[in-house]
Amino acid sequence: MAENKKPSIGLNDKERFPLLPDLSFLQQLRQDEFAPRYNFQSGDRLEAAHLEKVKAYAHKISNTKAFWKVGEQPDWLEDYLNWCIDTVPFYKDRTRSFAEQPTISRSDLRAAPWDFVSKDAPLEELLVYQTSGTTGPAMDVLFDPVSQACWIPQLQSILQQYGITLDAAPDKVAIALICSQQETLTYASLSTYLNGAGVLKINLNPADWKDLNDRLLYLQKYDPQVLTGDPFAFLDLLKLQPVIRPKVLVSSAMKLTAGIGRKLEDYFGCPVLDIYSLTECRMVAVAEGDRYRAIRPELYLEVFDKHQDVALPYGERGELVITGGNNPFLPLIRYRTGDFCSIEMENGVPYLVGLEARLPVPFYTLAGELVNNIEISRAMMPLPLAGFTLHQDKSYRLTFTGWSDEAIAPAVQDVLQRIFKTGIAVDVEVHPVQAMRHSKVVNYSSAFALEDAGV
């Protein structure tokens, strides 16, 4: 580094989009008279070599018809295991026999994310993303530009099964991530892979907009081709009755119930897809009837006993465990997802049967206002909690159980009273961390159904 070079506080747009010479559409999205008050700036940082890797990945994921055969393992698995042992600190002392590999969990990733960074990963390309906190405390996940950008080819590989293509034009909004939270990062961005098409992340919270009607006017003006979000956000979007024509709606942060899916399909007149996705490795499978079809040939899927490191045969129900991915900042070997299913193989493709993933759990204030559990997870982040559970009964009473070695019960009370407004009854118990029996507890439960929102 040259001695006279000053440290950079943040990237500029040219650095965020080095291959896009014309950023006028980006400025238009940000400065539109109806635009929200964006609070963040984001870019894919794809250089020419990166873009070629993303295109190669898109070709592979769209054209691989069989992943592995029953009784066999993927042909890439041995090389992947050896690469992890040779370059990733967390795996350095492991045996080179895949059958003897122990499982890892979210607590391992959260405790030391740097131990999962391969020596081959270029540190100057590090990107950090925070999990949503739908099932537990939010967590930082590391990516590089290629693995981050590959979520769009993953989505495309699903859409092509429905005959849906994206108009990858530099004056179109391809994808809008819809949120409905008290606070979240929002931005207008572009996709280099989609030739500079727009990618938005917007929050329907009125506080994020200059005028209440701007939410409708902005969405209707740019008419995104794909809307992604969770069931809470889609229900709030439905209340706005926007006159837009998306090609598809995608729910991936939480499992979409059939009732909400039908409401969305009836209004928007397009397919509504339920995609099983994890921030740790992005999209995994898409719902097809009562099963989820795996979409990633570079992910090896197994089912393990809930309490022991014992792999279960196809057809037996257990915890879904994932190996693989294309992220040098987070290579996974037998990662326990915390979600449960059995696996069936069909023509070399795994299907997840009876997937018990992250159902949306609704909470309500005494006034009947819906509270997204993501808000609760984020509000608990500053507190020294190893884990917690929260339940709401039909009388609206909240019961909180947490694990911490500090006296934080009053702080928990304050957080919940702030989120749920005054007057709600809250019972708080905080136990020592050593009393916590599981590394991943089921955080949220409610006596209410999301359909109680009355949409």
Residue percentage of the chain with pLDDT more than 90: 71
| Angle of the 151-159 helix axis to the 48-63 helix axis, nearest 10 | 30
Assigned CATH topology for domain 363-453: GMP Synthetase; Chain A, domain 3 (3.30.300)
Q: What's domain 13-67+108-295+346-356's architecture?
A: 3-Layer(aba) Sandwich (3.40)
* pLDDT for 437: 59
* pLDDT for 212: 96
- The residue-averaged pLDDT of 153-168 equals 96
The candidate with the shortest Cα–Cα distance to 420, out of 362, 366, 378, is: 366
Q: Average pLDDT over the chain, rounded to whole? A: 90
pLDDT of residue 455 exceeding 70, the answer is: no
Residue 435: CB atoms within 10 Å: 8
pLDDT of residue 183 exceeding 90, the answer is: no
* pLDDT for 182: 83
pLDDT of residue 99 exceeding 60, the answer is: yes
* pLDDT for 384: 82
Q: Which DSSP state fits 414?
A: H
pLDDT of residue 399 exceeding 90, the answer is: yes
* pLDDT for 6: 47
The candidate with the shortest Cα–Cα distance to 285, out of 211, 339, 209, 207, is: 339
What's the pTM? 0.82
* pLDDT for 452: 57
Do 299 and 284 meet the contact criterion of CB atoms below 8 Å apart? yes
pLDDT of residue 2 exceeding 60, the answer is: no
- The residue-averaged pLDDT of 255-278 equals 90
Q: Cα(58)–Cα(157) distance, rounded to whole angstroms?
A: 8
* pLDDT for 3: 43
Confidence of residue 217 (pLDDT cuts 50, 70, 90): very high
* pLDDT for 383: 87
- The residue-averaged pLDDT of 22-37 equals 98
Confidence of residue 139 (pLDDT cuts 50, 70, 90): low
Q: Same CATH fold, 363-453 and 13-67+108-295+346-356?
A: no
Q: Cα(35)–Cα(236) distance, rounded to whole angstroms?
A: 18
Confidence of residue 5 (pLDDT cuts 50, 70, 90): very low
pLDDT of residue 453 exceeding 70, the answer is: no
* pLDDT for 30: 98
Confidence of residue 171 (pLDDT cuts 50, 70, 90): very high
Q: Cα(44)–Cα(60) distance, rounded to whole angstroms?
A: 21
* pLDDT for 441: 60
Domain ranges within the chain, ordered by starting residue: 13-67+108-295+346-356, 363-453
* pLDDT for 375: 81
* pLDDT for 4: 47
- H-only helix segments in 64-113: 77-87, 106-111
Q: Cα(109)–Cα(128) distance, rounded to whole angstroms?
A: 13
- The residue-averaged pLDDT of 411-433 equals 90
Residue percentage of the chain with pLDDT more than 70: 93
pLDDT of residue 312 exceeding 50, the answer is: yes
pLDDT tens for residues 323-368? 999 999 999 999 999 899 999 999 999 999 999 776 678 899 998 8
* pLDDT for 250: 96
